[in-house]
Amino acid sequence: MKEWIRRWYEGDTELLTDIMDGAEVPDRPRKELKQQRKAFRAKILERVNSEPVLRAQEKSFYAIYRVIAVISCVVLIGVLLFTVANLPHYGTENPRTVEVVRRYIEHGLEETGAVNVVAGMILDYRAFDTLGESHVLFTALVCVMILLQLDKKTIRGGHMDSYYRVKQDTYFDISKDSIIRVAGMVIVPCIILLGIYVLLNGQNGPGGGFSGGAIIGAALIMFATAFGFNAVDRIFTRRALMTTTFVSLAFYSFAKGYVFFTGANGLENHIPKGTPGAILSGGLILPLDIAVGLVVACTMFGFYSLFKRGSIGSD
Amino acid sequence: MEVTEIFRGILLLLLIVCAIAVNLTKKLLQAVIIFMSYSSIMCILWILMESPDLAITEAAVGAGVSGILFLMTLKKIGSEENNEQPGQAPTEEKP
């Protein structure tokens, strides 16, 4: 043991592997041990004596750190305020983008078939942006899975199991609370209904894929909080989540690829625009809204599930 | 000056107060709650600026889901357990 401590103090890098391999502590004669102890004490004394110097160094470091922090903060605020002061006023026309804006406002309805110009903009004119955003969400979900998902070994056996799971699940588990259960029973269907309304009405009014999907995801989180994860696991496994996300993203990519191809090459586009204001209008906007909404809802719930218990679904 | 202008001014002031208060709060839980209220104020401001699409998203994501994720993170790093000392951030390392 003392040998290990000595090696640890000297910064031996092979110490950990030696301990893991079960290396035996070498026996040392008493004289050598005494000498070691003396050397150890001398080292500690040396360290203590040199402490004032260390402390002074630390103090100067923190002083410089604070000064630099204040300076960089002030510079950043100045740059941002200067930029804001040079922006065009709210509501006035910006001469650089006025052509694009006019085109969107004047021809948006006939070209996209959507009453909500914003939906026409983000899902028709600039659908590539939204495609990238959905893929960013998917990538974020995958990254969180890589970081936080517990693997099967950790879940099934080993001492990590009892400690981690019990602590995680009982600390904030409020699913047995009857107030939350009854409130969830009343609120969750309403929120899901509102989310579906916002999702399907994106081309006619405010809303659309991202906001509707976020509302549905929040409702799923509420459901999982009120009724526990076992209730959600029956329908929402990891396989279901991954399949939904993949199908949505693939559909989005192919549908938009078709539209871009036919539009760019002057070919005939077979997607009907529909009457503006009806639910089935706006060409591809409604299906794309649904695809984006599914991706967002899956991502939101996946984040929550991974943060809370380290896995999506029970597998 | 119209009523909406005054209302907007009050909201903008509250926005600045919230933004500064998030930085100055020592307790992480309070900081998260102030951040969520910041999002709610921003949501009303989006409506006043006539962009309800953004307002819905801000309310759902800013005030809802991201706040929940922050709270889950606080639980993960265990800042709730050593919150007994008042006026000191649990994760802050003293120089």
Domain parsing of chain B, residue ranges: 3-77
Q: Are residues A58 and A146 located together in one domain of the fold?
A: no
Residue A292 located in a structural domain: yes
Q: For residues A169 and A22, what is the distance between their CA atoms, to the nearest angstrom?
A: 35
pLDDT on residue A66: 92
Same domain, A57 and A42: no
pLDDT of residue A235: 82
Q: Which residue has the higher pLDDT, A9 or A187?
A: A187
Residues of chain B found within 8 Å of residue A205, distances taken between Cβ atoms: 52
Q: Which of B51, B53, B72 sits opposite A307 (nearest CB)?
A: B72
CA-based nearest residue in chain A for residue B57 = A211
Residue A108 inside a domain? The answer is no
B19 in reach of chain A (CB within 8 A): no
Average confidence (pLDDT) over A225-233: 82
Give the model's pLDDT for residue A192. Answer: 93
- Higher pLDDT: A42 or B87? It is A42
Tokens read off for A231: 């209730």
Q: How far is B61 from chain A (nearest CA, A)?
A: 6
Q: Is residue A233 assigned to a domain?
A: yes
In this structure, the answer to whether residues A248 and A303 fall within a common structural domain is yes
Which residues of A sit within 8 Å Cβ distance of B?
58, 62, 90, 116, 118-119, 171-172, 198, 205-208, 210-211, 214-215, 217-218, 221, 300, 303-304, 307-308
Give yes or no: residues A32 and A67 share one domain.
Answer: no
Judgement on whether residues A74 and A138 belong to the same structural domain of the protein: no
More confident residue, A1 or A287: A287
Is A124 exposed, middle or buried, given 0-12, 13-18 or 19+ CB atoms closer than 10 A? Answer: buried
Q: Does B51 touch chain A (CB under 8 A)?
A: yes
Whether A128 and A276 share a structural domain? yes
User: Do residues A178 and A297 both lie within one domain?
Assistant: yes
- Whose tokens are 């549905």? That residue is A216
User: In the predicted model, is pLDDT for residue A138 greater than 70?
Assistant: yes
Out of B52, B57, B76, the one facing A214 most closely (by C-beta) is: B57
- The Cα angle at residue A113 between residues A110 and A118, in degrees rounded to 5: 100
Q: Tell me what pLDDT residue B62 has.
A: 87
A303 pLDDT more than 60:
yes
Residues of B in contact with A119 (CB under 8 A): 53
Nearest to B56 among A207, A300, A303 (CB): A207
pLDDT value of residue A153:
62
What is the CA angle A210-A216-A218, rounded to 5?
100
pLDDT digits (tens, 9 = 90+) for A110-137: 777 788 888 888 888 888 888 999 999 9
pLDDT, residue A1, reads: 62
Position A274 in a domain: yes
**pLDDT surpassing 50 at residue B30:** yes
Check CB contact under 8 Å for A116 and B53: yes
State the pLDDT confidence band at A180, using cuts at 50, 70 and 90: confident
Distance between B73 CA and the closest CA of chain A, angstroms: 7
Question: Could you tell me if residue A315 is inside a domain?
Answer: no
B53, B73, B75: residue with CB nearest A172: B75
When CB atoms are compared, the residue of A62, A211, A308 closest to B60 is: A211
d(CA B2, CA B4): 5
pLDDT bin (cut points 50, 70, 90) of residue A139 is very high
pLDDT value of residue B93: 43
Task: Say whether both A238 and A223 belong to one domain.
Answer: yes
Structure tokens at A71: 């300076």
Residues A182 and A208 in one domain: yes
Which chain B residues touch A214 with a CB distance below 8 Å?
A: 57, 60-61, 64-65
pLDDT at B94 over 60: no
Which candidate, A215, A51, A233, places its Cα nearest to that of B62? Answer: A215
**pLDDT tens digits, A253-289:** 998 888 888 877 767 777 777 777 777 777 788 889 9
Report pLDDT for B32: 92
Q: In this structure, are A189 and A83 located in the same domain?
A: no
**A-chain residues near B60 (CB < 8 A):** 211, 214-215, 218
- Check whether A146 has a pLDDT greater than 60: yes
CB-based contact A231:A302 (threshold 8 Å):
no
Predicted pLDDT of residue A11: 64
Which of A12-21, A54-63, A125-134, A246-255 is predicted with the least confidence, judged by mean pLDDT? Answer: A12-21
Q: Is residue A31 located within the same domain as residue A169? A: no
Whole-number pLDDT of residue A312: 78
- The CB density around residue A210, as the number of other CB atoms within 10 Å, is 27
Domain of A66, in residue numbers? 52-87
Whether A105 is covered by a domain: the verdict is no
- Same domain (yes/no): A79, A142: no
Q: Helices A238-264 and A285-309 sit at what angle, rounded to 10 degrees?
A: 150
Give residue A64's pLDDT. Answer: 92
CA distance A281 to chain B (A): 19
Average pLDDT along chain B? 81
At residue A19, the pLDDT reads 62
Share the mean pLDDT of chain A: 80
Structure-derived torsion over alpha carbons of residues A72, A76, A77, A83, reported in degrees to the nearest 10: 160
Number of domains in chain A: 3
What does the pLDDT average to over A234-242?
86
Residue A257 lies in a domain: yes
Identify which has the larger pLDDT, B78 or B23: B23
State the amino acid at position A218 in one-letter form: A
